[in-house]
């Protein structure tokens, strides 16, 4: 921005300044401008330029502000451009921008409001559209419109789903017009509703089938559903299955047990409480089976007349045992009174009800007697009731009289109510028949009665018979008709042809009457049959009259009642079976009469089933939770009592096995007393368990004894090993130290050998050079000898020359003598000559003399030379000898050098070996250290184990041995020292060090400063970097 500004200003300056300058220049040159004017113009131009620059500056400032604002706006930030006044170059732009920002802001807020209300499901959309113009308004309108479009079907759907969630599944489906995704949402919701509908139907079908029709095989049709609904349907089926299977099985089992059929044990797999139930069943079945066999055997024996045979009560426990011994006692006490009883039983089986048994009897027989008496009483009562009802109904005409069902229980009650039902079913037709007969009997057309009647009826019959004896045939006919009617053969009609006149008319009349009765009766029968089949049909709408109308009305109200009853039962079933609300019962008060009884009967059934079930399940649950509850004391009857006593027996066994006997033994073992055992006798699996517990404890005890003994062995041998390893470690250390010494001295030896080799080599070199010097000496000697001989030769030659000179001197002397002689002869003339001759003679004499001297000297030097040759030869001989010896020395020297080198090589090899030995020794030291550490660990652990075992009470003598066996503290001190116990700094654990404590402290201090140093001194950045990588 800054650079742009600068560029702009420069460009502006040039644009303004240059043309002006040029123009002014041109004007000036052409003389159009005078100098003062030129100066004024130039000054003006400069002022103008300055003003222009200032303006540009200001524009740029505004532009920068504007730019940053626009940049923010483009980033979506809300800004307000401030500080713009009318003098600003961009005033209008800024104003418009601010306006735009404002609009954007409120537009944003309003869209927020619309979205919020859409999210909240509120479709009022509180937006003031009028504040917008143009595109803002159009956009906002569009948004609100589409929000509404979205929301409308949603709220409709919401209403429907709300209803569904409240359980109100109507056939209503969502029917709003939708588009796109909304449509598929709508469709999905509708199909969800359909599915729920279907599911409910299926459940209904299953419920009805299972509960009301007793069709336990009926299941929901899973294939109607998909996905999770299919799983839900399957789930419902599964629930039904889990209930139905054990229910039917339990019911079958209970039924067959109560019928005296002991079924095979339940092998199917069940879970949870059902499994516990199953197990109790199986236990019960097992005991029953074996008992039945026992009883069977007894029965066979009795049948064979072997009345001495008794059951083996010892095989059983608890109630079963009591039963067997009871049977035995019964057998004992039965033998005598048995025939008496038999008589009664025979009588009873023939339907003859004798008086009560008055005979004395004992024990169980007494109970049997009581039962028999009770039976007799019941039969008596029943008979009486029937009698009373019969008398009332038939003879006294009290058709409303019924047997008092409450006097009876069980099947007897059913019998009584059956009789009542029969009476009820036939009450009206009987009433009608009665009235018909009464009509005839009252004088118009008296019928004939052949049947036996008693009491009042008999009187009536008798009077009839005596009054209208000749109406016998008619009577017979009517009787036949009556019989047929009582037999339910409602199609039978009187044979009018057999009669004539008024009788014929009577018969015809009777026949037509019968028709009138039978038709509505058939209808009624049909309905009742339907109802009894569980088909609750629609109400009867046909028109009947009089009593038939009553029948119709009653039937209709029966249908009503049955309907209500069904509803009640349904409610109970759903509550009990599906919702698990076992307390749900029918409200009896809404029914009357038998229906009320039926309702309360249903309640009773549910009660009698639910209560023991609850108790059993409660107990089984508690047992399965490890609780042993107190025995069941409530009274139950029949099979429920069996269950109760089974549970009680089971509780006894469990109490003993888990708490008092077995539990105590285990507790003792847990408290480290392994001498306790399970003592009581148990049967079956319990006995197996007892054996297992005992053998577990025995094994533990045995094992602990062994472990104790082994631990002791381990402890002592490992401390042995530890000691061994320690001394091994020490040995290795000493070895290492010795090796260090050896290695060091070897090093020295090696260097000495090398030195020797070097010296020998030096010596060799020296002798070599000595040899060459002597050889050179010999050589010079030889040369000298030659030179001397040459001197000798030349001396000889010189001697020869000297001899010649001597001969010449002699001759010259002779000649000089001769000349002197001659000169003397010649006198004076010869006088000069005589002097010369004399001189010559002198010279000759001196020459001879000199030659003689020279010869003598040469002779002498030859003699010397000869002498020199001799010496020379001697020197040469000596030199030769020296040469030979130097050669020998040289050989020795090279031998020494080679030997030293070999020696050095050998020492090197020894060194390598020692280095290897050192490595092995280091290894040994490390390994023995490691094994010392391991064996110390071992000792520690063995001791630990021994201490642990010592906490157990064991029954054998070994414990004593162990107690006195190994004393940890008697182990050598070293054993406990280096690794298990930390080594304190020397000053602390060595008392003799105390006087040096200060020094040690100093030392520590310095070592501490050193300790911190390594990092500083040795470049460890690399290390630190590496460590920081991890």
Partner 1 sequence: MEYISAKLSDYEFDRISGLVYSLCGISLGSGKKELVTARLAKRLNELKLQSYDAYLKYLSGDESGYELLQLIDVITTNVTSFFREMHHFDYIRERILPEYRIKSEKIRVWSAGCSSGEEPYSMAVLLFEEIGNLMLRDVKILATDISTNILTKAKEGVYDKQLVNGVPKMLLNKYFDAFTDRDEYGRTLYNFKVKSDIRSVVRFARLNLMEDWPMKGPFKIIFCRNVMIYFDKKTQEKLVGKYHALLETGGHLFIGHSENLSSISHSFKYVQPGVYLKC
Among 929, 952, 962, 971, binds partner 1 (CB under 8 A): 929
> What distance in Å separates the CA atoms of residue 606 and residue 608, rounded to the nearest whole number?
6
Size of the site for partner 1 (CB under 8 A): 69
The contacts of residue 206 (CB under 8 Å, 6+ apart) are 218, 219, 220, 236, 237, 240
> What distance in Å separates the CA atoms of residue 340 and residue 334, rounded to the nearest whole number?
10
Closest distance to partner 1 from the beta carbon of 991 (Å): 12
| Residue labelled with tokens 């109510």 | 417
Which tokens hold the place of 635?
């009274």
Please report whether residue 741 would count as binding partner 1 according to CB under 8 A.
Answer: yes
Among 77, 268, 895, 930, binds partner 1 (CB under 8 A): 930
For residues 418-457, one letter each, b for 16 or more C-beta atoms within 10 angstroms of the residue's C-beta and e for the rest, the string is ebbeebeebebbbebbeebbeebbeeebbbbbeeeeeeeb
> Considering beta carbons, is residue 774 or 939 the nearer one to partner 1?
939
The contacts of residue 113 (CB under 8 Å, 6+ apart) are 125, 126, 127
Q: Which of 769, 773, 781, 772 is nearest to 875 (CA)?
A: 781
Please report whether residue 901 would count as binding partner 1 according to CB under 8 A.
Answer: no
3-state SS class at 953: strand
3-state SS class at 359: coil
Closest distance to partner 1 from the beta carbon of 1028 (Å): 5
Closest distance to partner 1 from the beta carbon of 983 (Å): 4
Closest distance to partner 1 from the beta carbon of 1024 (Å): 6
- Residue 707 near residue 947, CB atoms below 8 Å: no
Among 944, 947, 955, 956, binds partner 1 (CB under 8 A): 944
Q: Which stretch binds partner 1 (CB under 8 A): 71-79, 113-121, 282-290, 929-937?
A: 929-937
Please report whether residue 981 would count as binding partner 1 according to CB under 8 A.
Answer: yes
- Residue 719 near residue 971, CB atoms below 8 Å: yes
Closest distance to partner 1 from the beta carbon of 107 (Å): 51
| Residue labelled with tokens 């030195």 | 755
Please report whether residue 908 would count as binding partner 1 according to CB under 8 A.
Answer: yes
In the region spanning residues 582 to 601, those forming contacts with partner 1, defined by CB under 8 A, are none
Among 365, 940, 952, 966, binds partner 1 (CB under 8 A): 940
> Considering beta carbons, is residue 124 or 981 the nearer one to partner 1?
981
> Considering beta carbons, is residue 342 or 745 the nearer one to partner 1?
745
Please report whether residue 161 would count as binding partner 1 according to CB under 8 A.
Answer: no
What are the φ/ψ torsions at residue 33 (nearest 5 degrees)? Answer: -120, 140
Contacts of 287-296 with CB under 8 Å at 24 or more apart are 287/316, 287/320, 287/646, 288/257, 288/262, 289/262, 290/315, 290/316, 290/320, 291/316, 291/320, 291/323, 291/324, 292/262, 294/324, 295/324, 295/327
Q: Which stretch binds partner 1 (CB under 8 A): 191-199, 361-369, 544-552, 995-1003?
A: 995-1003
> What distance in Å separates the CA atoms of residue 596 and residue 602, rounded to the nearest whole number?
10
Please report whether residue 18 would count as binding partner 1 according to CB under 8 A.
Answer: no
Closest distance to partner 1 from the beta carbon of 754 (Å): 11
> Considering beta carbons, is residue 563 or 930 the nearer one to partner 1?
930
Closest distance to partner 1 from the beta carbon of 721 (Å): 11
CA pseudo-torsion sign 617, 618, 622, 623? negative
Q: Which stretch binds partner 1 (CB under 8 A): 137-145, 234-242, 398-406, 917-925?
A: 917-925
> What distance in Å separates the CA atoms of residue 681 and residue 460, rounded to the nearest whole number?
78
Closest distance to partner 1 from the beta carbon of 918 (Å): 9
> Considering beta carbons, is residue 407 or 993 the nearer one to partner 1?
993
Please report whether residue 755 would count as binding partner 1 according to CB under 8 A.
Answer: no
Alpha helices by DSSP H, 625-683: 638-654, 662-670
> Considering beta carbons, is residue 790 or 944 the nearer one to partner 1?
944
Among 180, 260, 982, 991, binds partner 1 (CB under 8 A): 982
In the region spanning residues 277 to 296, those forming contacts with partner 1, defined by CB under 8 A, are none
In the region spanning residues 699 to 738, those forming contacts with partner 1, defined by CB under 8 A, are 726, 729-730, 732-734, 736-738
Please report whether residue 1007 would count as binding partner 1 according to CB under 8 A.
Answer: yes
> What distance in Å separates the CA atoms of residue 312 and residue 297, rounded to the nearest whole number?
10
> Considering beta carbons, is residue 515 or 734 the nearer one to partner 1?
734
> What distance in Å separates the CA atoms of residue 391 and residue 398, rounded to the nearest whole number?
8
- Residue 812 near residue 844, CB atoms below 8 Å: yes
What are 554's strand-pairing partners? none
Contacts of 655-661 with CB under 8 Å at 24 or more apart are 655/628, 656/680, 656/682, 657/682, 657/686, 657/689, 657/690, 658/628, 659/628, 661/690
> Considering beta carbons, is residue 614 or 1008 the nearer one to partner 1?
1008
> What distance in Å separates the CA atoms of residue 200 and residue 236, rounded to the nearest whole number?
11
Closest distance to partner 1 from the beta carbon of 978 (Å): 3
What are the φ/ψ torsions at residue 792 (nearest 5 degrees)? Answer: -60, -45
Among 71, 105, 793, 1011, binds partner 1 (CB under 8 A): 1011
Please report whether residue 990 would count as binding partner 1 according to CB under 8 A.
Answer: yes
- Residue 722 near residue 702, CB atoms below 8 Å: no
Among 983, 994, 997, 998, binds partner 1 (CB under 8 A): 983
Q: How far apart are the first and last CA of the chain?
A: 48
Closest distance to partner 1 from the beta carbon of 1011 (Å): 6
Please report whether residue 810 would count as binding partner 1 according to CB under 8 A.
Answer: no
Please report whether residue 948 would count as binding partner 1 according to CB under 8 A.
Answer: no
> Considering beta carbons, is residue 803 or 994 the nearer one to partner 1?
994
Closest distance to partner 1 from the beta carbon of 992 (Å): 8
Closest distance to partner 1 from the beta carbon of 954 (Å): 24
Q: What is the DSSP string of 575-630?
A: IIIIS--TT----GGG--HHHHHHHHHHHHHHHHHHHHHHHHHHHHHHHHTT--PP
Among 937, 948, 953, 958, binds partner 1 (CB under 8 A): 937
Q: Which stretch binds partner 1 (CB under 8 A): 4-12, 268-276, 574-582, 930-938?
A: 930-938
> Considering beta carbons, is residue 193 or 721 the nearer one to partner 1?
721
- Give contact residues for partner 1 (rule: CB under 8 A): 726, 729-730, 732-734, 736-741, 744-745, 747-748, 751, 905, 908, 922-923, 925-927, 929-931, 933-934, 937, 940-941, 944, 974, 977-983, 985-987, 990, 993, 996, 1000, 1003-1004, 1006-1008, 1010-1011, 1013-1014, 1016-1018, 1020, 1022-1024, 1026-1030
């Amino acid at each position: 921005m800054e650079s742009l500004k600068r560029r702009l200003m420069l460009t502006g300056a040039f644009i303004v300044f240059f043309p002006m300058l040029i123009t002014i220049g041109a004007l000036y040159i052409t003389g159009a401008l005078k100098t003062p004017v030129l100066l004024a113009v130039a000054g003006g131009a400069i002022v103008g330029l300055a003003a222009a620059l200032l303006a540009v500056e200001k524009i740029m400032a505004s532009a920068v502000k504007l730019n940053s604002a626009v940049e923010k706006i483009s980033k979506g930030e809300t800004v307000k451009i401030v500080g713009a006044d009318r003098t600003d170059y961009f005033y209008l732009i800024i104003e418009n921008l601010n306006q735009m920002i404002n609009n954007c802001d409120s537009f944003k807020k309003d869209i927020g409001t619309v979205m919020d209300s859409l999210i909240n499901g509120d479709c009022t959309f509180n937006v003031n559209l009028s504040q917008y113009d143009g595109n803002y308004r159009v956009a906002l309108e569009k948004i609100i419109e589409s929000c509404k479009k979205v929301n409308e079907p949603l709220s409709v759907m919401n209403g429907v789903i709300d209803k569904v969630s409240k359980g109100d599944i109507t056939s209503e489906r969502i029917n709003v017009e939708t588009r796109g995704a909304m449509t598929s949402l709508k469709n999905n919701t509708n199909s969800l509703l359909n599915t729920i509908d279907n599911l409910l139907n299926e459940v209904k079908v299953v419920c009805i089938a299972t509960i009301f029709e007793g069709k336990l095989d009926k299941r929901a049709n899973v294939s109607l559903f998909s996905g999770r609904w299919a799983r839900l349907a399957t789930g419902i089926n599964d629930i039904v299955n889990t209930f139905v299977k054990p229910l039917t099985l339990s019911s079958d089992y209970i039924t067959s047990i109560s019928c005296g059929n002991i079924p095979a044990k339940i092998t199917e797999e069940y879970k949870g409480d059902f499994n516990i139930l199953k197990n109790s069943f199986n236990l019960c079945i097992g005991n029953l089976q074996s008992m039945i066999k026992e009883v069977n055997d007894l029965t066979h024996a009795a049948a064979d007349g072997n009345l001495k045979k008794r059951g083996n009560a010892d095989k059983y426990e608890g109630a079963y045992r009591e039963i067997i011994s009871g049977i035995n006692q019964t057998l004992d006490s039965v033998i005598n009174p048995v025939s008496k009883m038999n008589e009664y039983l025979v009588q009873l089986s023939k339907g003859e009800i004798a008086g009560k048994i008055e005979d004395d009897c004992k024990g169980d027989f007494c109970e049997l007697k009581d039962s028999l008496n009770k039976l007799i009483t019941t039969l008596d009562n029943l008979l009486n009731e029937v009698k009373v009802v019969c008398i009332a109904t038939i003879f006294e005409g009290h058709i409303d009289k019924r047997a008092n069902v409450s006097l009876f229980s069980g099947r007897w009650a059913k019998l009584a109510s059956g009789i009542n039902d029969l009476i009820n079913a036939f009450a009206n037709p009987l009433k009608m028949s009665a009235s018909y007969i009464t009509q005839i009997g009252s004088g118009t057309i008296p019928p004939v009665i052949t049947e036996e009647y008693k009491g009042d009826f008999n009187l009536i019959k008798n009077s009839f018979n005596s009054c209208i004896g000749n109406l016998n045939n008619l009577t017979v006919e009517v009787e036949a008709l009556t019989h047929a009617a009582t037999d339910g053969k409602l199609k039978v009609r009187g044979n009018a042809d057999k009669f004539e006149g008024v009788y014929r008319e009577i018969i015809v009349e009777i026949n037509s009457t019968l028709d009138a009765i039978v038709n509505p009766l058939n209808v009624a029968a049909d309905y009742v049959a339907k109802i009894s089949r569980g088909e609750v049909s629609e109400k009867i709408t046909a028109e009947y009259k009089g009593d038939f109308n009553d029948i119709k009305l009653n039937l209709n109200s029966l249908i009503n009642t049955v309907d209500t009853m069904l509803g009640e039962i349904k409610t109970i079933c759903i509550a009990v079976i599906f919702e698990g609300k076992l307390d749900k019962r029918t409200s009896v008060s809404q029914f009357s009469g038998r229906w009320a009884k039926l309702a309360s009967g249903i309640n009773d059934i549910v009660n009698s089933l639910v209560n023991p079930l609850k108790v059993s399940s409660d107990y089984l649950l508690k047992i399965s939770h490890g609780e042993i509850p107190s025995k069941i004391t409530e009274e139950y009857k029949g099979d429920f009592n069996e269950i109760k006593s089974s549970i009680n027996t089971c509780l006894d066994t469990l109490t003993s096995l888990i708490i008092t006997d077995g539990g105590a033994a285990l507790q003792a073992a847990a408290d480290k007393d392994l001498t306790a055992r399970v003592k009581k006798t148990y049967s079956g699996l319990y006995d197996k368990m007892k054996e297992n517990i005992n053998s577990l404890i025995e094994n533990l005890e045995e094992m602990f004894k062994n472990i104790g003994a082994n631990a002791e062995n381990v402890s002592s041998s490992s401390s042995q090993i530890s000691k061994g390893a320690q001394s091994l470690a020490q040995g290795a250390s000493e070895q290492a130290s010795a090796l260090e010494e050896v290695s060091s001295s070897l090093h020295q030896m090696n260097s000495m050998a090398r030195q020797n080799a070097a010296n020998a080599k030096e010596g060799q070199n020296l002798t070599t050079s000595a040899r060459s010097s002597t050889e050179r000496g010999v050589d010079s000697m030889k040369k000298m000898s030659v030179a001397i001989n040459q001197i000798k030769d030349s001396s000889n030659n010189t001697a020869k020359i000297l001899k010649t000179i001597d001969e010449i001197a002699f001759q010259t002397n002779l000649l000089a003598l001769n000349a002197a002689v001659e000169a003397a002869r010649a006198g004076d003339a010869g006088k000069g000559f005589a002097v010369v001759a004399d001189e010559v003679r002198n010279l000759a004499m001196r020459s001879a003399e000199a030659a003689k001297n020279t010869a003598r000297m040469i002779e002498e030097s030859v003699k010397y030379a000869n002498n020199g040759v001799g010496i020379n030869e001697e020197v040469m001989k000596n030199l030769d000898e020296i040469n030979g010896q130097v050669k020998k020395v040289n050989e020795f020297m090279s031998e020494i050098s080679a030997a030293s080198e070999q020696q050095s090589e050998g020492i090197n090899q020894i060194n390598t070996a020692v280095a290897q030995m050192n490595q092995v020794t280091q290894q040994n030291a490390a390994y023995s250290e490691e094994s010392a550490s391991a064996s110390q660990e071992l000792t520690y652990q063995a001791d630990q184990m021994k201490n642990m075992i010592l906490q157990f009470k064991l029954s054998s003598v070994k414990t004593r041995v162990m107690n006195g066996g190994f004393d940890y503290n008697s182990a050598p001190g070293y054993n406990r020292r280096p690794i298990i116990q930390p080594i304190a700094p020397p000053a602390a654990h060595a008392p003799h060090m105390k006087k040096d404590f200060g020094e040690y402290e100093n030392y520590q201090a310095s070592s501490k400063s050193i300790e911190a140093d390594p990092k500083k001194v040795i470049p460890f950045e690399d290390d630190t970097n590496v460590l920081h990588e991890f």
